[in-house]
């Protein structure tokens, strides 16, 4: 990681994303702080969508719901404008990706609901503290993410399968990784699968659906955690007129401090 960002606070990083249009993945930035996914929907459909999220807390742990004239966080990053302070966004119209801007302020309307959802990048600092390396850090990559055959519980117009993130973990450290992440339900908690990717519908581990291809060393075991991109994928599949989300790997860095290990 560039030394320029190493000691920056969450607020400083958000300001750089907003004011300087800095675009960079947030893995490894501001270790010790919670990171968040984003999905924005319009009108009455947003209420139905929130019920879907509540029925699927493993892949979609809701951190904050934002509504009103301006999309300002009051809880996880007080004062942050979530239309500007993610590094990169995605705009879907009727399920098709149409744009990937750095600012979606011009698209925000008062009938919108923005949902901030937990992210597994949050727990990586705790894994590192415990001596578990993150291969994507070593190779300056985004964490790989995959569509799976693990079904979400449907609600109304919303249905779909889990998206998962994968980290190759040395076999002797897998149990420790599970122990560390299990209590962190706001960041998806413990893994949903360990080992054979094909068992959860992943055909080719080296070609993820999102993020960058993994680097798996000899003796590593693929460990899969639920991923907040699930929420984006499900919203997109419903094909509303408009869905706005973050670009996978480019998260909101919140002001919420991760509890320390005991």
For residue 157, CA distances in Å to 153, 160, 234, 236, 240 come to 12, 10, 9, 11, 10
pLDDT reported for residue 259: 78
**Cα R_g (the chain), whole angstroms:** 17
pLDDT, tens digit only, all 262 positions of the chain: 455 666 899 999 999 999 988 999 998 899 999 999 999 999 989 999 999 999 999 999 999 999 999 999 999 999 999 999 999 999 999 999 999 999 999 999 999 999 999 999 999 989 999 999 998 888 888 899 999 999 999 999 999 999 999 999 999 999 999 999 999 999 999 999 999 999 999 999 999 999 999 989 999 999 999 999 999 999 999 999 999 999 999 999 999 999 765 4
pLDDT reported for residue 26: 92
User: Helix (H) and strand (E) counts for the chain?
Assistant: 7, 11
pLDDT reported for residue 261: 55
| DSSP collapsed to 3 states, 82-98 | CCCCCCCEEEEECCEEE
Residue whose C-alpha is closest to residue 243's, from 252, 251, 234: 234
Cα–Cα distance for residue pair 12/77, rounded to 1 Å = 12
Q: Which residues contact 4 (CB under 8 A, 6 or more apart)?
A: none
What pTM was estimated for this model as a whole? 0.92
pLDDT reported for residue 156: 94
pLDDT reported for residue 4: 65
pLDDT reported for residue 38: 97
The class of domain 121-229 in CATH terms is alpha beta
pLDDT reported for residue 219: 93
pLDDT reported for residue 3: 52
Cα–Cα distance for residue pair 42/111, rounded to 1 Å = 6
Segments making up each domain of the chain, as ranges: 3-119+235-257, 121-229
Q: Which CATH number fits domain 3-119+235-257: 3.40.630.30, 3.40.50.11540, 3.40.1640.10, 3.40.47.10?
A: 3.40.1640.10
Directed axis angle between helix 45-55 and helix 229-237, to 10°? 140
pLDDT reported for residue 139: 81
Entry field: residues in the chain: 262
User: Under the phi-then-psi rule, with left for phi > 0, alpha for psi from -120 to 50, and beta for the rest, what region is 246?
Assistant: beta
User: Under the phi-then-psi rule, with left for phi > 0, alpha for psi from -120 to 50, and beta for the rest, what region is 211?
Assistant: left
């Amino acid at each position: 990681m560039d030394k320029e960002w190493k000691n920056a606070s969450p607020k400083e990083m958000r300001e750089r994303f907003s004011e300087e249009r800095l675009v960079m993945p947030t893995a490894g930035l501001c270790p010790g702080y919670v990171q968040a996914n984003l999905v924005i929907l319009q009108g009455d459909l947003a209420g139905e969508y929130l019920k879907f999220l509540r029925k699927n807390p493993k892949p979609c742990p809701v951190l904050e719901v934002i509504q009103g004239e301006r999309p300002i966080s009051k809880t996880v990053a007080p004062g942050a404008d979530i239309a500007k302070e993610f590094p990169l966004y995605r705009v879907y119209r009727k399920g098709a990706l149409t744009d990937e801007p750095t600012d979606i302020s011009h698209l925000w309307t008062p009938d919108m609901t923005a949902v901030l959802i937990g992210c597994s990048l949050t727990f990586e600092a705790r894994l590192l503290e415990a001596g578990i390396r993150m291969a994507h850090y070593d190779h300056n990559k985004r964490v790989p993410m995959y569509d799976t055959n693990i079904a979400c519980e449907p609600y109304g117009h919303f249905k779909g399968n889990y998206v998962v993130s994968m980290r190759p973990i040395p076999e002797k450290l897998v149990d420790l990784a599970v122990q560390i992440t299990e209590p962190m339900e706001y960041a998806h908690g413990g893994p949903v699968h360990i080992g054979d990717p094909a068992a959860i519908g992943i055909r080719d581990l080296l070609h993820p659906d999102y993020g960058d291809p993994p680097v798996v060393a000899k003796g590593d075991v693929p460990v899969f955690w639920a991923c907040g991109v699930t929420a984006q994928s499900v919203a997109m599949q419903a094909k509303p007129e408009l869905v706005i989300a973050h670009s996978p790997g480019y998260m909101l860095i919140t002001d919420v401090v991760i509890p320390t290990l005991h």
